[in-house]
Structure 1
């Protein structure tokens, strides 16, 4: 009888080279908390800058790309630190920046 295929969490553990399923759950928690943090701070930032949340537009997109996305990266590292997963997220951040600037 063959082994059953790995479940979703086991596949993530393998893909991300994590040591345990507990670590996978912590990483997923960090992603969730980072997303919620950005969700809660985006509106106050846009309100402070006088950008309406009701309409899309060029300036809203520019502000989002220049301010909110970098804040996401910072909060990702901060939450990673809080939950003991800073090294994992720091490696992912370095890989992202290498990809952006075109280095291997």
Structure 2
């Protein structure tokens, strides 16, 4: 049963989680490269609402080495990726979500 499976799980020590997260999120020396790397980052982030103002300045460059806005333009104009508005934020900002086209809602 699900309850039995849950009892088999054990939490990891905080140090293990701290070591795992940068690699899994592709930060620092684990950053992805090129258009294929950006597609992989979009796949991992898909559906997560992020501030539009942070997407191309912080979120994607921290995951893809040498990221430029033209890279996301390429993925969206070729139809490989799409973005969707996900609500308003104060000022002129808003929430957006990225998706690979075959996973978009």
- Please give the TM-score of this superposition, normalised by the length of structure 2: 0.25
| Richer in helix (by share) | 1
Larger radius of gyration: 1
- Please give the TM-score of this superposition, normalised by the length of structure 1: 0.25
| Richer in strand (by share) | 2
Relative contact order, higher structure (CA 8 A, sep 6+):
2
